[in-house]
Amino acid sequence: MTDANRTPGEFCGRTRREFLWEAGAGFTSLGLIDMLSRDGVFTGRASGAEVNRLGNPLASKPPMFAPKAKSVIFLFMYGGPSQVDTFDYKPKLYELDGQTIPVKTFGRGGKKNEGRVVGPKWKFKPYGECGKMVSDLFPNLGTCVDDIAFMHSMTADSPIHGSAMLQMNTGKILSGSPCLGSWVNYGLGSENENLPGFVVMLDPTGGPISGAKNWSSGYMPASYQGTILRSAGVPVLDLKRPEGMSGETQRHLLDSLNAYNTDHLASRRDNSNLAARIASYEMAYSMQSHAPEAVDLTRESKETQSLYGLDEDKTRDFGRRCLLARRLVERGVRFIQLYAGGAHNDSNWDAHGDLETNHGYHAGRTDKPIAGLLKDLKRRGLLDETLVIWGGEFGRQPTAEYAKGTGRDHNAYGFTMWMAGGGIKGGTSVGATDELGGTAIEDRFHVKNLHATVLQQLGLDPEHLNYFYNGLDQKLVGVEGAEPIRQIIA
């Protein structure tokens, strides 16, 4: 787009910190600078790498050490699935069904000292070589346990959706911090210039509570926030040309715009932001064709589609999103978050009333798609470099919430999450809850340990992935830091 030689000297001698302070200069986006380099905008004495490091927050950055995983798929079971009805087998609980016993719980109904036990509503049986006990809610996922590491001793700081969602996504129960996906993109950048690096796919019933706060980049630039990707219709906001504008017309518009902007640039060549903005139109233009291709599931074979349950009504929606997640991973998208469940009450895993109906429904629509995703990733050789995470913002209590019925209140004292792929040791289970399954007692892990594990697998040291803000080197894992869960790392 230009033949000028110039010295992009404005980047020299600056530290990253100075750059972030000033913030105003040069936050250009994915691949823009690479593109400019190719086009000869930057051919001065500063190396492309320097320009990248300083100028493009989403330029692909090397990890701190050899990574095990390149991408993350976070299957967010919004609402909080019950651990004792899914993966945390508690035989004693069946016997206690209906009995009121002393037990400390803390949920939306406050702190209680006793409660009526609700026995698990499904049977468990062993699966795989590891013999992992899995409930009948997940007959398909059961067949994948040898690739999965279960963490039965997760804890969080809040049993209330609002703050617990924020903590699972940002590490903090207070609003305003960047999300895990933001940190990952901040640390590693994106490999695909035609797609966002942090993608969020919502449930058709709606977003989670607190909406966009769950994919916000907080105090980091907006470049790191999650982008909503739709599995049907126009995948990304404003990706579709409006009514009445053909591809040719748009091309003419962009060519003419480019000519004006190039004139404007001629006497201002030392301002890389102008060139970056010129390039951003070309990237937007190509996103219009690449993004729809990425979400076009008709390119998948019948067999693959049915592996994800696209041929069944109840699994089609989540299956589409899981399949989409795999396609995004293949295209270098760094962090993908899928919400299983949305909106309020029984539209997600928040089973306060009728546990059987609620969990039956949500497991029913996700079991096969998730199993399909793991198997498909594996057979394509992608599972090794893709870290899959499953879990909600907390778990549920072993006791009933009300006098009657099977509904369980929230529980952050102990719950189960699992990870697979991305250098995770399959067929393992770590940590334990007490015999009721409500409180973590062995190898207790905090949400921060989970976050630390994710960063670790991506080649980022959780204790040293810093962002200077508010007078402090902020970390995802907080000032005190947190250890990765080493027991599950292969």
Partner 1 sequence: MVPPSPSITHGDLMPRSLLPALLLVILSLSHVLAEEKAPTPEQTRFFESKVRPVLVEQCIKCHGPDKQKAGLRLDSREAVETGGDSGPIVVAGKPDESLLIQALRYEEDGPKMPPSKRLPAEQVEVLTQWVQQGAHWPVETASAPASTIRRGPMVITDNDRAHWAFQPIQRGQLPHVNNPAWATNPVDAFVLAKLDAKGLTANPPASKVALIRRATYDLTGLPPTPQEVDAFVADTSPKAYEALIDRLLASPRYGEKWARHWLDLVRYAETNSYERDNPKPSAWRYRDYVIRAFNDDKPYDRFIREQLAGDELPDKTNDSVIATGYYRLGIWDDEPTDRDQARFDGLDDLVATTGQVFLGLTIDCARCHDHKIDPIPQKDYYKLVSFFNNTNSFRNGGPTDEVPYVEPGRELAYQERVRELELQKNEVREAIAEIEDEFRKGYQAGEKLPKGDIEELRYRFYRDTWTTLPEFDALKPEDSGELPQGLFDLKPRTRDISFGFVFEGTLVVPEEGQYTFTLDSDDGSRLTLGGNIIATDDGIHGLGDPKSAKVTLQRGRVPIRLDYFQKASGLGLAVTWSGPSFPAKFLSAIEPTKTKSKALADLASVIRTDGAKVLGVERFERYRSLVKKAQVLREQEAASESILCITEQGRVAPDTHLMLRGNAHVPGDKVEPGFLAVLGDEKAIIPEPPADAKTTGRRRALADWITSPTNPLTARVIANRLFQHHFGRGIVRSPNNYGVQGDKPTHPELLDWLATELIAQGWHLKPLHRLIMTSQTYQMSSNANPEASAKDPMNDSLWRMDMRRLTAEEIRDSILAVSGQLNLTMSGPGVFPEIPAEVMAGQSIPGRGWGKSSAENQARRSIYVHAKRSLIMPILEGFDQAETDRSSPVRFSTTQPTQALGMINGTFLHKQAATLADRLKREAGDDLNGQVRLALRLTTGRQPAEPEIQRGVRLIQSLETQDGLSRDEARRIYALLALNLNEFLFLD
Q: Which of 171, 192, 188 is nearest to 180 (CA)?
A: 171
Q: Which of residues 325-354 bind partner 1 (CB under 8 A)?
A: 342-344, 353
Token match 């100028």: residue?
55
Site for partner 1 in 203-242 (CB under 8 A): 206-213, 215-216, 218-219, 221-223, 227-228, 230, 234, 236-242
DSSP conformational letter for 354: -
Closest by CA to 450, choosing from 97, 170, 236, is: 170
269 binds partner 1, rule: CB under 8 A: yes
Distance CA 146, CA 144 (A): 6
Of residues 39 through 78, those in contact with partner 1 by CB under 8 A are: 48-49, 52-53, 57, 59-62, 64
Which member of 101, 253, 266, 490 binds partner 1 (CB under 8 A)? 253
CA distance 355 to 84: 12
473 belongs to the binding site for partner 1 (CB under 8 A): yes
Number of residues that bind partner 1 (CB under 8 A): 141
Which is nearest to 421 in space by CA: 368, 365, 373? 373
Q: Per CB under 8 A, does 257 bind partner 1?
A: yes
* Per CB under 8 A, 37 contacts partner 1: no
Q: Which is nearer to partner 1, 199 or 371 (CB)?
A: 199
Q: How far is the CB of 303 from partner 1 (least distance, A)?
A: 32
CB of 103 to partner 1, least distance (A): 13
Q: Which of residues 159-178 bind partner 1 (CB under 8 A)?
A: 159-163, 166, 173-176
Task: Out of 102, 244, 301, 313, name the contact with partner 1 by CB under 8 A.
Answer: 244
Among the residue ranges 131-139, 268-276, 319-327, 365-373, the one whose residues contact partner 1 (CB under 8 A)? 268-276
Check residue 372 for interaction with partner 1 (CB under 8 A). no
- Rounded Cα–Cα distance for residues 354 and 346 (Å): 9
Query: Which residues contact residue 429 at a Cβ distance below 8 angstroms, ignoring those fewer than 6 apart?
Result: 130, 132, 149, 150, 152
Site for partner 1 in 104-133 (CB under 8 A): 108-110, 112, 115-116
DSSP string, 161-222: HHHHHHHHHHS-SSS----HHHHHHHHH--S-TTS-SEEEE-BTTBPPTTGGGGG--TTS-G
Looking at the Cβ atoms of 126 and 481, the one nearer to partner 1 is 481
Nearer to partner 1, 260 or 299 (CB): 260
Q: What is the DSSP letter of 430?
A: E
Task: Tell which one of 4, 21, 131, 232 touches partner 1 (CB under 8 A).
Answer: 21
Q: Assess 101 for contact with partner 1 (CB under 8 A).
A: no
Both tokens of 128, joined, read 């795989």
Asked if residues 393 and 401 have their Cβ atoms less than 8 Å apart, the reply is no
Q: Can you tell me the distance from the alpha carbon of 144 to that of 481, in angstroms, rounded to the nearest whole number?
A: 32
486 binds partner 1 (CB under 8 A): no
470 binds partner 1 (CB under 8 A): yes
**CB closer to partner 1, 372 vs 484:** 484
